[in-house]
Amino acid sequence: MATKGPMQDPSVDPVIDPMIDPRTGEYAVIAPGHNFKSVTQKIAGIVLTSNTPLGWFFGLIVAAGVTMGLVVGCTWLFLKGVGIWGVTIPGAWGFAIINFVWWIGIGHAGTLISAILLLFKQTWRNSINRFAEAMTIFAVVCAGTFPLIHVGRPWLAYWLFPYPNTMNVWPQFRSPLAWDVFAVSTYASISIIFWYIGMIPDFGTLRDRATMPAAKYFYGMLSLGWRGSTRHWIRYESASLLLAGLSTPLVLSVHTVISFDFAVAALAGWHTTIFPPYFVAGAVYSGFAMVLTLAIPIRKFYHMEDLVTLRHLDNMAKVMLATGSIVAYGYGMEVFMAWFSASHWEFFMMWNRMFGPMGWAYWILILTNIAIPLTTLWSRKLRVNVTFLFILSLIVNTGMWFERFVIVVTSLYREYLPSSWGTYRATKWDYMIYVGTMGLFTFLFFLFVRFLPMIPMSEIRMMLPQTKVTRGVDAETATEETA
């Protein structure tokens, strides 16, 4: 994904922006002037510094305060039961399932960046893959909260696992809700292992550079005796490729299984074969939007503009444009099939979704998921406009939440029999728990950027021009020429 800047003739006009290669006109992946030492100092200094920025403490305290909403909401839920939520019959699925699907979708970009782009040897991923993987894990933590509290008796949630027991009670393996348990747990396990394996070389660097005994011991224990030997690097590269190969199918399978929660039900608006690819594309779409939401403030606060460059932001915007187009196709197919199927129920569902009492939610998702992003991301100037991308990322994630709201609520509250129609109104406890998971996600992310290397030092060093030695030229000469 080559990202070109303003075209200039280097023989006539000197290139003012050092981030643009005068020979190709493309934005650089790493700013010029870096060497092995500067990269290590810049990334490791954030973790090993004894002067933690006051802004970090402020953000952590605010995130912890918001997380208390989750604690209070869940405590009251366990005391009083799910009756405190807005779920009723026929709208028995509410915020819990909506938020579960939304959070799982957000985590997909991390797996795609770390696994699929690694297999395709897309080196621009190196600057963003570490915190994208962290985002995946923290999003899965938030997502896993909702099925646990949605079952009504969370202390019996272990019944979902097929463990030997004297009651001979087994999960209903034909239920997609049981499939979710295996899909999400596998996804979380592989993501954590992949994330940790990728940090081992950096843990070795932090161990060697740390001055405090506690930090030396902590990072030394996590580094697993890493010495940077040839044998270690061979095993590290092999493990990374194997885990990338295991993770790649998960990008497709996990949200496909999540879509089966709806697609296998004989309900208008859910029973459709477009859901698996539609859900996967939507997950990647919202996931990359969240990566932009996190990457843009981080690069500004920690002055990482030379490592997370406009090339990265533009490439992520292009991925959003591609996946957003697939999502738009899914919306169009839903409308087309509601008409083409000649089913009274499908036609009424779509009419009610657009013009019924909750039609406002449908048009919000059309505006935020299609109208705004897909008409602006074609512009290269807007794709490299940092402020615009940050605002757009918030808009897209809002739209993807409304997509899940529309799928869950508008298909349930008016089903086959008018006598059983109802409505859905979320309560303050629904909102409190949902916002609380945002606080939990932000709290975990603040801890991550402070105590773990948010950008992989080892992979960034491999991208420096000093490492690119051509055959027939000795290393010292090549270093001088490419530095």
474 lies in some domain: no
363 lies in some domain: yes
pLDDT at position 157: 79
pLDDT at position 4: 54
The domain in which residue 137 lies consists of: 36-464
pLDDT at position 11: 44
- For residue 190, give the CATH number of its domain: 1.20.1630.10
10 lies in some domain: no
pLDDT at position 172: 77
Phi-psi region of 356 (alpha: psi -120 to 50; beta: other; left: phi over 0): beta
Distance CA 133, CA 173 (A): 30
Which residue reads 């994904």 in tokens?
Answer: 1
Tell how far CA 12 is from the center of its chain. Answer: 44
pLDDT at position 479: 43
367 lies in some domain: yes
Q: Give the pTM.
A: 0.88
What own/partner pairs with CB < 8 Å and gap ≥ 24 does 178-186 have? 179/257, 179/260, 180/147, 180/257, 180/258, 180/261, 181/147, 183/253, 183/254, 183/257, 183/258, 184/104, 184/140, 184/143, 184/144, 184/254, 186/250, 186/254
The CA-based angle 135-139-145, given to 5 degrees, is: 155
pLDDT at position 5: 52
The CA-based angle 219-224-225, given to 5 degrees, is: 95
Q: Which residues of the chain have pLDDT under 70?
A: 1-19, 21-25, 468-483
pLDDT at position 469: 60
pLDDT at position 374: 94
Provide CB contacts within 8 A for 187, sequence distance 6+.
107, 111, 140, 250, 254
187 lies in some domain: yes
20 lies in some domain: no
18 lies in some domain: no
14 lies in some domain: no
pLDDT at position 71: 94
Distance CA 308, CA 162 (A): 44
pLDDT at position 152: 75
Tell how far CA 424 is from the center of its chain. Answer: 28
The closest of 92, 84, 83 to 409, measured between CA atoms, is 92
Domains identified in the chain, total number: 1
